[in-house]
Amino acid sequence: MRIDLELLAHTLGARLVGSRRTIEGLSIDSRTLRPGQLFAAVRGERDGHDFVADAVAAGAGACLVERVDAEALSGTPALVVDSVSDALAALARLARDRIEATAAGRVVGVTGSVGKTTTKDLLASVLRQQYLTAASEKSFNNELGVPLTLANAPDDVEALVVEMGARGDGHIRTLCDLARPSVAVVTLVAAVHSEFMGGLDRIAATKGELVESLPAGGVAVLNADDERVAAMASHTASRVLTFGDGGDVRAEDVRLDAELRATFTLRTPDGSIPVHLGVRGEHNVTNALAAAAAAWALGVDIDGTAAGLAAPELSPWRMELVRPASGAVLLNDSYNANPTSMTAALRALAEVDATRRVAVLGYMAELDDAVAEHRRVAEVADQLGIEVVAFATDLYGVDPVEGIDAAVSALGSLGPGDAVLIKASRSVGLERLVAAIS
């Protein structure tokens, strides 16, 4: 979004300090800020006001702040507000209003306990076959990520895919108030963030806020094979389209190639087409069907859908297959973890042609019954004949290793015939192990 600061100040109820100019886009991180963007000094674990000088040095067009530090600003304009968080919500609504002119009916909200980031990436790839498309970066799916997605969409955007996460009741409803999606995609309901969100029925109710927020002329794209997701059809007046084995959009004759990429026949209400999926793991076929269903609802033909599913731009550290000089196979799925995704990743590892399969598994955070859930994952690994190296947690029932060097030692000398899965919650940072053995 490109906008004049004076107009933005009026919209946000902000005091403009400094010269009038135009900014383009939004950032909350001085390290990744692009020249000309508005830097929002968000208060979180760290206070964004401490990084205003860094943002200015990186070329910020202006800064959104609660207090003025003339030395840090060094002549860069500032919008001064009582609450940066409240101002970001107002900025998001402004950006959404502007998007309506070019993307009416093509704003998609994606949620679910697992699979939402990959589904978002696949759907964006498919929509780009026909529309100028923007999408949430990585897993930017909260009260900060959604304003970033809206504000950084180009002014002539024709389709927008917004990932939406939640850690409690009302979170998704709040994000829908900002993004106003016309299409809702719900992937799956599973025990994720259960420490905060409670049981599966409560998680389903929270995810269902996306479907309930749809306009009457919208489309709800629901997983026919998940009873809690399928039941969301009764909570909307919008048209319902389903995906999965029992859905309107489904996959037949699914097979995995040597790179763990699925090939299948995609069947839609408009016909069928062969697909060679550009993301690894059979579990991602479901995410591909979700993307294909949403794309069909938005008018993308099956040729474009197949092309988009074959070549997505994926967020990092999700089922990345790495082949180091040692000749081993590494599956880097280190971005995040929960019991459902852990099980899926282990099953993918079991499909790798190898004589030794090892899973380096770290802590799965925010589970209501962490002991039982970690043990269940360990049982799946045992059933599949996979050795477990527990990283910095004893919850898998084996003695853990502490630190990256210890994990490298536990893996031993890797070579051809070895296949290693690396997976944990984001806070563990197991991507460091990938770098150490690649």
pLDDT tens, position by position, 126-159? 999 999 999 999 999 999 999 999 999 999 999 9
Section 178-198 average pLDDT: 85
* pLDDT greater than 70 at residue 193: no
* pLDDT greater than 70 at residue 264: yes
Is CATH 3.40.50.720 what the domain over 87-310 is classified as, yes or no? no
- CATH superfamily of domain region 2-82: MurE/MurF, N-terminal domain (3.40.1390.10)
AA identity, residue 206: T
* pLDDT greater than 90 at residue 375: yes
Q: What angle do CA 73, 76, 79 make, to 5 degrees?
A: 90
Section 39-67 average pLDDT: 97
Q: Give 241's Cβ-side CA count (13 Å radius).
A: 21
Q: What is the mean pLDDT of the chain?
A: 96
Nearest Cα to Cα of residue 105 among 178, 181, 210: 181
Section 9-13 average pLDDT: 96
List of residues 6+ apart from 101 with CB closer than 8 A: none
- Break the chain into its structural domains and give their ranges: 2-82, 87-310, 320-437
pLDDT in the model for residue 196: 61
- CATH superfamily of domain region 320-437: Mur ligase, C-terminal domain (3.90.190.20)
pLDDT in the model for residue 194: 59
Say which residue the tokens 């360990």 belong to. 378
pLDDT band, residue 45 (cuts 50/70/90): confident
* pLDDT greater than 80 at residue 18: yes
pLDDT in the model for residue 319: 92
pLDDT band, residue 405 (cuts 50/70/90): very high
409/389 Cα distance (integer angstroms): 11
Section 25-36 average pLDDT: 97
Write the burial class of residue 365 (CB in 10 Å: 0-12 exposed, 13-18 middle, 19+ buried).
Answer: middle
pTM for this model (two decimals): 0.93
pLDDT digit string, tens, across residues 197-218: 668 999 999 999 999 999 999 9
pLDDT in the model for residue 168: 86
Write the burial class of residue 269 (CB in 10 Å: 0-12 exposed, 13-18 middle, 19+ buried).
Answer: exposed
Percent of the chain past pLDDT 90, that is, above it, reads: 93
70/74 Cα distance (integer angstroms): 6
DSSP calls for 138-160: TT--STTHHHHHHHTS-TT-SEE
pLDDT in the model for residue 195: 57
365/433 Cα distance (integer angstroms): 19
pLDDT digit string, tens, across residues 291-335: 999 999 999 999 999 999 999 999 888 999 999 999 999 999 999
402/22 Cα distance (integer angstroms): 50
pLDDT band, residue 380 (cuts 50/70/90): very high
The side-by-side arrangement of strands in the sheet containing 320-322 is 320-322, 329-332, 418-423, 356-361, 387-390
* pLDDT greater than 90 at residue 162: yes
pLDDT digit string, tens, across residues 80-117: 999 999 999 999 999 999 999 999 999 999 999 999 99
